[in-house]
Amino acid sequence: MPKVAFLPAGKREQTKLQNRNAILDAARQVFGEMGYDAATVRDIIRRTGLAAGTFYNYYRSKEEVFAALADEGARRFGPILRARRAESADFEAFVRAAIDAYYEFLADEHRNWVARRPPGEPHPHVQGETPETAAVFAEVRDAIVAEVARGAPAVDADFLAAACIAVARGVGDKMLERRPIDTAGAAAFAVGMILFGLKGLPRAGA
């Protein structure tokens, strides 16, 4: 009976991590060059150099790969968001710091690989419904609840957190479509909308 070679547990985990990273790196390139809709699993596999069976050990579809990219982006942004919250004296300061940090994060991601993304394609970073993006949402909600407890006007924390994130995402996506990418202008608009509504927005051309 032939002997079966087994990798040590540590080596197996390292190989799994390398394969997963290879798939995500390939997906970034393929989605960036071809766009999400046009890209296929076959395109991603070709770019990795891995066997098709190896790919399917980790992901069942390009939708799962896209969700993993969103999760990875949220995982990297989460500590940045928590640090900004720790440094902020109140909710308004937290919103300003968080939005600034988020748009700088998006711009950095854009420079790294999203520059080739066709216009209108979804941006996978800190979006989607994954455990890590849920943690980002919870961080924003917790900040709102804490400020209400400290005497801020009582509001529905879930609705306000959803509104904050929706505004940040929507303005961020539009920011990435423009040239040059204006993180400061986008942040001023998003912060004004979140904190003060229409009356708080900077005037066009001002």
Q: Which of 110, 112, 131, 132 is nearest to 121 (CA)?
A: 110
For 156-198, how does the pLDDT look when each residue is reduced to its tens digit (9 = 90+)?
888 888 888 889 989 998 888 888 999 999 999 999 999 888 7
Q: How far apart, in whole angstroms, are the C-alpha atoms of residue 129 and residue 90?
A: 28
Structural domains in the chain plus CATH codes: 9-60 (1.10.10.60), 67-197 (1.10.357)
Instruction: Give residue 1's pLDDT.
Output: 47
Instruction: Give residue 88's pLDDT.
Output: 87
For 34-65, how does the pLDDT look when each residue is reduced to its tens digit (9 = 90+)?
878 888 999 999 999 899 999 999 999 998 99
Please return the burial class of 40, using the count of CB atoms within 10 Å of its CB with bins 0-12, 13-18 and 19+: exposed
- Say what the pTM is: 0.70
Residue pair 137/159 in contact (Cβ under 8 Å)? The answer is: no
Q: How far apart, in whole angstroms, are the C-alpha atoms of residue 18 and residue 122?
A: 26
10 Å Cβ neighbour count for 23?
Answer: 23
Instruction: Give residue 100's pLDDT.
Output: 95
Instruction: Give residue 4's pLDDT.
Output: 47
10 Å Cβ neighbour count for 180?
Answer: 6
Torsion of CA 36, 42, 44, 47, to 10 degrees: -140
